[in-house]
Amino acid sequence: MTPPRLEPPYVIFDRSQWAALRSPEDHVPSLASIEMLGGVNDPALQIEVEEIFLPLTRFINSHIRAAHELSRIVYSGFDGTDSSTRATPYVIGVAGSVAVGKSTFARLLRAVLAQTVPGRRVELVTTDGFLYPTRELQERALMGRKGFPDSYDLPAMLDFLSSVKSGKSGLKVPVYSHEAYDIVPDEFEHIDRPDILIFEGLNVLQTKNIAAAVASDFFDFSIYLDADSTLIEKWYIQRFVKLQRTIFQRESSYFHHYKDLSEGEAIQVARGIWQQINLPNLLDNIAPTRGRARIVLRKGEQHQIEEISVRQT
């Protein structure tokens, strides 16, 4: 399925138009450091950093400067008498489907944002840490809806984001293991007042069936990774087949029971999971939030971003 073209107030750039917005002063990270951040079937190419990420971080940095100036004015009582208050972390939400490349994108964005300002601390948190543990998902009959909005501990997620924006230090986020397919008991990621927090997940722009606050209430900026659902399905199947040959072979893997599948059987299983779980989640919950993002990045066949849509309001 091809998502409908975004209309105004979005301004749409093709890749060459967007790449032209890069500053000639931008420093390109080394190829080795970029390749280390690549995903299973979403390799991070240097050209992607040069043509997409450098203009993007330039755009984001302009928004950060404006936000900090507004914060300075507000906290100094509009007259500039007290500029000692430190700006709270700038929070960037990154949304999109399973297998669209969010994790690789977020890691690259973190690296490039950290590089553009010396000494800047940029942290990355994924919503996986806020999934209910497997036992609780089973008790709630939600294992078949893992990744849907109701499979997350929303109060804990909102409390974390509120604490971040309140400038609190010493925050803890549960660690999620993709190999175990579960929250790791008594392990936490520590977040201590970063300059920028990237918050990445399937449903971070979600508002459906939520009566109180939503995650995006705490975002200063938001990005949606987009692609045709037929392409994402292909990427999901390719990733599943690669994992079936590698990670799934480990006894510690939750999906170890798939270790002996033939390639044809692995493709069939992956397609079934996509059609029963991931596609409904995309169509019902994720894709409808696309128009809430400040920037929509649309990918093509080769996983490269081909179109950039920027919302003006």
Q: Are 90 and 114 in contact (CB under 8 A)?
A: no
Interatomic CA distance for residues 260 and 244, integer angstroms? 9
Beta bridge mates, 90: 196
Tokens of 290: 């696309």
How many CA atoms lie less than 13 Å away from 308 in the CB half-sphere? 22
Q: Can you give the pLDDT at residue 10?
A: 92
User: Per-residue pLDDT for 176 more than 80?
Assistant: yes
User: Per-residue pLDDT for 273 more than 70?
Assistant: yes
Q: What is the pLDDT of residues 182-200, one digit of tens each?
A: 999 999 999 999 999 999 9
pLDDT higher at 24 or 184: 184
pLDDT higher at 48 or 260: 260
DSSP string, 108-165: HHHHHHHHHSTT--EEEEEGGGGBPPHHHHHHTT-GGGTTSGGGB-HHHHHHHHHHHH
Domains and CATH numbers, the chain: 10-311 (3.40.50.300)
Q: Can you give the pLDDT at residue 285?
A: 95
Mean pLDDT over the full length of the chain: 90
72-99: b (≥16 Cβ within 10 Å) or e: eeeeeeeeeeeeeeeebbbbbbbbbbbb
Q: Can you give the pLDDT at residue 12?
A: 95
Q: Are 282 and 232 in contact (CB under 8 A)?
A: yes
Residue range 13-21: mean pLDDT, rounded: 95
Contacts of 155 (CB under 8 A, 6+ apart): none
Q: Are 205 and 181 in contact (CB under 8 A)?
A: no
Q: What is the pLDDT of residues 96-132, one digit of tens each?
A: 999 999 999 999 999 899 988 888 999 999 999 999 9
Please state, for a pLDDT cut of 90, what percent of the chain lies above it.
Answer: 73
In this structure, the dihedral spanned by the alpha carbons of residues 245, 248, 251 and 252, taken in order and rounded to 10 degrees, is: 140
| pTM, entire model | 0.92
User: Per-residue pLDDT for 84 more than 60?
Assistant: no
- The one-letter code for the residue type at 121 is R
Q: Can you give the pLDDT at residue 34?
A: 67
Interatomic CA distance for residues 116 and 26, integer angstroms? 8
